[in-house]
């Protein structure tokens, strides 16, 4: 198995006014294999978004190293292979879905035909094909999440990084997104996601990592972790790990 993401001794300290500091991540190590779906879990403020943004090179680590497909994140070739859905995306709200996808397609310098084909395909895959003329300012929360996922896929990424991809989705949307992610995995993509939905993570992730206060408290396959911690449900496991630390 080759390694998609390798994180070594990653520390991120945020500096606040009056010399105050917040630790986002502390001496964090993690390896994610190519082709797996890896789920990050942890209480609010545990460092999930910080980790994802550091992997993407959107924020810089205080110490430590991140490699994606063996390359440092500054490498433009690597950035082309990544799709990202942020936690709170901000879109140009006067654009329609197809216009937004066209814009993202241009960022990746996709040829016109590829862009159109992918855009049509993705709009159907995320259930927005019927709403092509609706401006984003009239989208619901779940619809924005769906278009966000389509944007993250416009470059047909090898690695998909999703920060809470289903928070605003109804149960049908949640299942559709899960099915889509499983299909992408079948196509050989690597997916790293964060979520608060234990049942969702349980259904699709090959391995999970539980974070708290910038530390990785547990990592592994869910079945093995349940056995190791002598717990029966994912919820019990999560609470036990967070409280035991």
Binding site for Mg ion (CB under 5 A): 48-49, 87
Q: DSSP secondary structure string, 79-128?
A: HTTEEEE-SS----TTSBHHHHHHHHHHHTT--HHHHHHHHHHHHHHTT-
- Nearest Cα to 191, choosing from 149, 232, 137? 149
Residue 54 touches ligand ATP, criterion: CB under 6 A: no
Q: How far is the CB of 148 from ligand ATP (least distance, A)?
A: 15
The smaller minimum CB distance to Mg ion, of residues 47 and 173, is found at 47
Interaction of residue 22 with ligand ATP, rule CB under 6 A:
yes
Among ligand ATP, Mg ion, none, residue 165 binds (CB under 5-8 Å by kind) = none
User: Residue 139: CB partners within 8 Å, gap ≥ 6?
Assistant: 147
Nearest distance from C-beta of residue 12 to ligand ATP, angstroms: 8
User: Of these partners, ligand ATP, Mg ion, none, which one is at the site of residue 44 (CB under 5 to 8 Å by kind)?
Assistant: ligand ATP
**Residue, CB closest to Mg ion:** 49
As a whole number of angstroms, the distance between CA 118 and CA 243 comes to 45
Q: How far is the CB of 44 from Mg ion (least distance, A)?
A: 7
Cβ 59 to ligand ATP, closest distance in Å? 7
Among 26, 28, 50, 155, binds ligand ATP (CB under 6 A): 50
Report the C-alpha gap between 94 and 80 in whole angstroms.
26
Q: Is residue 61 close enough to count as binding ligand ATP by CB under 6 A?
A: no
* CB-nearer residue toward Mg ion: 190 or 195: 195
Handedness of CA 61, 7, 147, 175 (dihedral sign): negative
Nearest to 157 by CA among 105, 80, 87, 101: 80
The single residue among 11, 31, 45, 197 that binds ligand ATP, judged by CB under 6 A, is: 45
Mind giving me the DSSP string for 21-56?
Answer: EEEEEEEEEEEEETT-EEEEE-STTSSHHHHHHHHH
Binding region for ligand ATP (CB under 6 A): 14, 16, 22, 24, 42, 44-50, 87
């Amino acid at each position: 198995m080759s390694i998609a993401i390798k994180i070594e001794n990653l520390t991120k300290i945020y500096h606040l006014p009056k010399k105050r500091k917040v630790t986002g991540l502390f001496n964090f190590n993690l390896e994610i294999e190519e082709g797996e779906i890896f789920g990050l879990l942890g209480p609010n403020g545990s460092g999930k978004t910080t980790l994802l943004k550091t992997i993407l090179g959107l924020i810089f680590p205080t110490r430590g190293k991140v490699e994606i497909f063996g390359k440092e994140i500054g490498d433009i070739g690597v950035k082309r292979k990544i799709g990202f859905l942020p936690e709170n995306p901000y879109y140009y709200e006067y654009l329609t879905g197809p216009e937004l996808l066209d814009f993202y397609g241009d960022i990746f310098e996709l040829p016109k035909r590829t862009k159109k084909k992918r855009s049509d395909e993705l709009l159907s895959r995320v259930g927005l094909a019927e709403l092509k003329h609706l401006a984003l300012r009239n989208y619901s929360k779940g619809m924005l999440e769906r278009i966000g996922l389509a944007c993250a896929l416009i470059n047909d990424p090898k690695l998909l990084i999703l920060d809470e991809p289903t928070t605003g989705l109804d149960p049908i949307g949640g299942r559709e997104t899960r099915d889509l992610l499983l299909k992408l995995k079948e196509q050989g993509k690597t997916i790293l996601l964060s979520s608060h939905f234990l049942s969702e993570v349980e259904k699709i992730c090959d391995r999970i990592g539980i974070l708290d206060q910038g530390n990785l408290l547990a990592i592994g396959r869910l079945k093995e972790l349940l056995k190791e911690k002598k717990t029966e449900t994912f919820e019990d496991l999560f609470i036990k790990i967070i409280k035991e630390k």
